[in-house]
Amino acid sequence: MPRLGRTARALATLLLAVGAAAPALPAHAGPTAAQADPAHAAVPEKPLQHIVPAPVRVTPRPGTTYHLTPDTRIYTHPGSRAAEQVGEFLADVLRPSTGYRLPVVPGASGKGVSLLLTGADPRVGDEGYQLDVTRRGVVIRAKTAAGLFAGVQTFRQILPAKVEAKSKQRGPWTAPGGSILDYPRYAHRGAMLDVARHFFSVDEVKRYIDQIALYKVNKLHLHLADDQGWRLEIKSWPRLATYGGSTEVGGGPGGYYTQEQYKDLVAYAAARHIEVIPEIDMPGHTNAALASYAELNCDGVAPPLYTGIEVGFSSLCIDKDITYKFVDDVLREVAALTPGKYIHIGGDEAHATTDPDFIAFMNKVLPMVTKYGKQASGWHEFVKANPPASAVPQFWGTKTVAADMVEAAKRGNEIVLSPATKAYLDMKYDEHTPLGLKWAGYTDVEDAYDWNPGAYVQDLPAEAVKGVEAPLWTETLTKSADLEYMAFPRLPAIAELGWSPWSTHSWDDFKVRLAAQADRWHVLGINFYPSPQVPWK
Ligand code: ACM
């Protein structure tokens, strides 16, 4: 805040202090500072508070503003390639819009922007960071590159929205002074994308990865196979992709990722500190596989490809040896392509498989996941098979009573929460939403935001919750603009539940911070639903 007088500065201090406690001043609070004092013009347009997800602790430094200039350098921790890569990521965001060179150099300096792997408060842990903005410089400190990356996402949000533009814009490029201490509530902050019902190209998935990275999401669960399509090349069973991937809901051309393309996606996500969790859904949701190989069917007859949106009609043949040769081959190839810890084996809606068959199937498949060095995730139904404590059930129920999840937690399983009534991004917002489904009910932004993952499932201990995940099923979604319309603004809501401490939870606060994101979405070309619940400017 240069050239701000003493009185105005005191007023700004007061406003920022009030804002930290309760940013949403009621509408009847009388004239705002803008009306009362012309010096308001110097108050940064985006106060330090307008960050999603809400940081653990924000301490504004009123009267202090950092200016990015043509001479700014980005310093990264000497000797750390990972820190340098985060520096390059930041430079790639800032260069097109500012037109500045922003060289990324090893070193540390009070000036410019520094990304350092020393000196952070121990509370930052593996993914948190400290961010300090003074007049002279910006310093992000973390213990890991993931923490630096999270800090960079926060830094982006306190710069003017047009910094996200892909073409040169007019400055000034200011960030409000202050310091932030921040770290996540949960280790698992996921987004799931269904590329099976409709296929999404590598570039479309990368676009979504960029969008979820903005909100500190750290897991991308890819739903790679379902009745309507098989989307990953499997070299030992090539027809899965070439035939099983040849259509989609509605009969369109479908598609699949070659193994090289999948590896490219995994690397792109990893560069954004996002771990890909591939899902091969089984024993149900397998029509695309059954259509590709007749021998996988109990009667030896391949069904036709499927382009509708029914569920629960397909099953791998539980009693055939070839089924387990098939699953073993698929899991071996998927594990070899996936550096992450998890493989998701589905297990939902196996209505065409009896319970004893389901359990027999899982008892054979779960050890294969372990054999290939991975931990199993699965939709919550798979707890019927008593998976090992390392397995991660994903709760997608519509009720808050789930005795099977409580029992699984007693056996040592940590659970990811994706309650369909809260976290399913494919549910319509209201009766007018042109896209999406409504079987779990309409879900506007406040519904998506207003639940506590640590106290949601009755009797499930808070410490049994590994995190949250927002699934985006694509029966009705065919292009990026559709994905964005359903994910924004609800994805940031779920991301905040995964990251921010419960002590910061406030719908009245969140909706104001969310509204401030819209300028960025406009610049980034993100197609979002302008929910009437949010006070957009
Ligand atoms: C699911 O929605 N069938 C997991």
Question: Using N-to-C axis directions, what is the helix angle for 202-213 and 490-499, rounded to 10°?
Answer: 50
User: Mean per-residue pLDDT for 274-303?
Assistant: 98
Please report the pLDDT score of residue 108 as a whole number. 83
* 272 and 150 both lie in a single domain: no
Tell me: pLDDT of 64 over 70: yes
User: Mean per-residue pLDDT for 72-92?
Assistant: 98
Please report the pLDDT score of residue 42 as a whole number. 45
- Closest atom of ligand 1 to 418 CA is 4
29 in a structural domain:
no
Residue whose C-alpha is closest to residue 46's, from 60, 35, 32: 60
Cα 264 from Cα 266, distance rounded (Å): 5
305 DSSP assignment: P
**Apex CA 127: angle with CA 412 and CA 382, to 5°?**
30
* Atom 1 of ligand 1, nearest CA residue: 348
* 91 and 195 both lie in a single domain: no
Please report the pLDDT score of residue 30 as a whole number. 30
Question: What is the per-residue pLDDT across 140-181, written as a single tens digit (0 to 9) for each?
Answer: 999 999 999 999 999 999 999 999 999 999 999 999 999 999
User: Mean per-residue pLDDT for 336-352?
Assistant: 98
* Atom 2 of ligand 1, nearest CA residue: 396
> 463 burial class (0-12, 13-18, 19+ CB within 10 angstroms)?
exposed
Query: Which are the catalytic amino acids?
Result: 349
Cα 318 from Cα 324, distance rounded (Å): 9
What is the total count of domains within the chain?
Answer: 2
- Closest atom of ligand 1 to 396 CA is 4
Residue whose C-alpha is closest to residue 215's, from 290, 303, 146, 154: 154
- 418 CA distance to ligand 1 middle (Å): 10
- Closest atom of ligand 1 to 285 CA is 3
* 70 and 205 both lie in a single domain: no
- 349 CA distance to ligand 1 middle (Å): 7
Here the CATH number for the domain that contains residue 163 is: 3.30.379.10
- 63 CA distance to ligand 1 middle (Å): 51
Residues 48/58, Cβ–Cβ less than 8 Å: yes
22 in a structural domain:
no
- 412 CA distance to ligand 1 middle (Å): 23
Please report the pLDDT score of residue 23 as a whole number. 33
β-strand partners of 255: none
Give me the chain's average pLDDT, please. Answer: 92
Give the residue, out of 396, 422, 438, with the most ligand 1 atoms within 8 A of its beta carbon, to mutate for a pocket test: 396
Domain boundary among 151, 166, 182: 182
Domain boundary among 150, 182, 214: 182
Cα 230 from Cα 316, distance rounded (Å): 14
Tell me: pLDDT of 43 over 70: no
Tell me: pLDDT of 15 over 70: no
* 440 and 338 both lie in a single domain: yes
> pTM for this structure?
0.92
User: Mean per-residue pLDDT for 348-370?
Assistant: 98
Please report the pLDDT score of residue 421 as a whole number. 98
> pLDDT-based confidence at 3, cuts 50/70/90?
very low
- Closest atom of ligand 1 to 349 CA is 3
Residues 222/209, Cβ–Cβ less than 8 Å: no
Here the CATH number for the domain that contains residue 403 is: 3.20.20.80
15 in a structural domain:
no
* 290 and 303 both lie in a single domain: yes
- 464 CA distance to ligand 1 middle (Å): 21
User: Mean per-residue pLDDT for 74-97?
Assistant: 98
3-state helix vs strand vs coil in the chain, percent to 5: 40, 20, 45
Question: What is the per-residue pLDDT across 489-528, written as a single tens digit (0 to 9) for each?
Answer: 999 999 999 999 999 999 999 999 999 999 999 999 999 9
Please report the pLDDT score of residue 46 as a whole number. 52
- 348 CA distance to ligand 1 middle (Å): 6
Please report the pLDDT score of residue 110 as a whole number. 78
Please report the pLDDT score of residue 315 as a whole number. 98
Cα 310 from Cα 328, distance rounded (Å): 27
Using CB distances shorter than 6 Å, the residues near ligand 1 are 348-349, 379, 396
Residue whose C-alpha is closest to residue 225's, from 165, 285, 273: 285
CA distances from 172 to 44, 70, 169, 523 (A): 11, 11, 9, 17
Please report the pLDDT score of residue 355 as a whole number. 97
Please report the pLDDT score of residue 47 as a whole number. 62
- Closest atom of ligand 1 to 379 CA is 4
437 in a structural domain:
yes
* 140 and 274 both lie in a single domain: no
* 329 and 367 both lie in a single domain: yes
* 128 and 236 both lie in a single domain: no
6 in a structural domain:
no
User: Mean per-residue pLDDT for 377-397?
Assistant: 98
* 427 and 459 both lie in a single domain: yes
Other C-beta atoms closer than 10 Å to the C-beta of 532 total 11
Question: Structural domain of residue 169, as residue ranges?
Answer: 57-182
Q: What residue spans of 338-424 are helical by DSSP H? A: 355-371, 403-410, 420-423
497 versus 111: which is more confidently predicted?
497
Token pair belonging to 199 = 């296929």
Tell me: pLDDT of 25 over 90: no
- Closest atom of ligand 1 to 424 CA is 2
* 351 and 262 both lie in a single domain: yes
User: Mean per-residue pLDDT for 472-501?
Assistant: 98
- 296 CA distance to ligand 1 middle (Å): 23
190 in a structural domain:
yes
* 149 and 235 both lie in a single domain: no
Other C-beta atoms closer than 10 Å to the C-beta of 82 total 17
Residue whose C-alpha is closest to residue 446's, from 496, 518, 499: 496
10 in a structural domain:
no
- 411 CA distance to ligand 1 middle (Å): 23
Cis peptide upstream of residue 419 (ω within 30 degrees of 0): no
8 versus 168: which is more confidently predicted?
168
* Atom 3 of ligand 1, nearest CA residue: 348
Domain boundary among 155, 182, 209: 182
Measured over the CA atoms of residue 211, residue 215, residue 218 and residue 221, the dihedral's sign is negative
Residue whose C-alpha is closest to residue 126's, from 190, 182, 57, 53: 182
Please report the pLDDT score of residue 20 as a whole number. 35
Tell me: pLDDT of 9 over 50: no
Token pair belonging to 125 = 């842990």
Give the residue, out of 379, 437, 439, with the most ligand 1 atoms within 8 A of its beta carbon, to mutate for a pocket test: 379
* 231 and 367 both lie in a single domain: yes
- 47 CA distance to ligand 1 middle (Å): 40
Token pair belonging to 298 = 């109990």
524 in a structural domain:
no
